[in-house]
Amino acid sequence: MPHSIKVKIYYEDTDAGGVVYYANYLRYMERARTEFLAEYGINVADYHDQGSFFVVTHVDIMYKRPARLGEIIDVTTEVQDMRNASMTIRNRILKEDALLVEALLTFACIDKEGRPRRLPDSFGPLKPVPEKQ
């Protein structure tokens, strides 16, 4: 089951037409991913202090419908794939049951020199969601 957070759309999130500026969806996904990891006891700041960094290496995003000023949206997060040093997350942004934005986002674990580092053992309980047949 995907993890979900609610986000209210403020004036600062929108363009002159009251529509969410496209890049802000990535901010919502970042928040959702951080909360998703925290739900599993993974504090990104702690790993940062220990020399492990999580960097986005790829984003594939599809904008289907806009979110607008004053609306409340749901941002869902689920693991799509997990490798030794990287993980792919599926984010979906919905208003009620309408899909607004869908993205696959891959992030990698690196050390302070930028070299790949194995994902920490605490990521073990994060399991990819099986593909629907």
Q: How far is CA 107 from CA 22, 53, 80, 90, in A?
A: 20, 10, 12, 12
Q: How far apart are CA 14 and CA 116, in angstroms?
A: 36
Instruction: Look up 60 and say whether it is catalytic.
Output: no
Q: Which residue spans within the chain are E strands per DSSP?
A: 3-8, 53-63, 72-82, 86-95, 98-110
Catalytic residue among 13, 15, 60, 97: 15
Burial degree of 4 (CB within 10 A; 0-12, 13-18, 19+): middle
**Closest by alpha carbon to 94, among 115, 72, 79?**
72
Q: Which residues are catalytic, by number?
A: 15
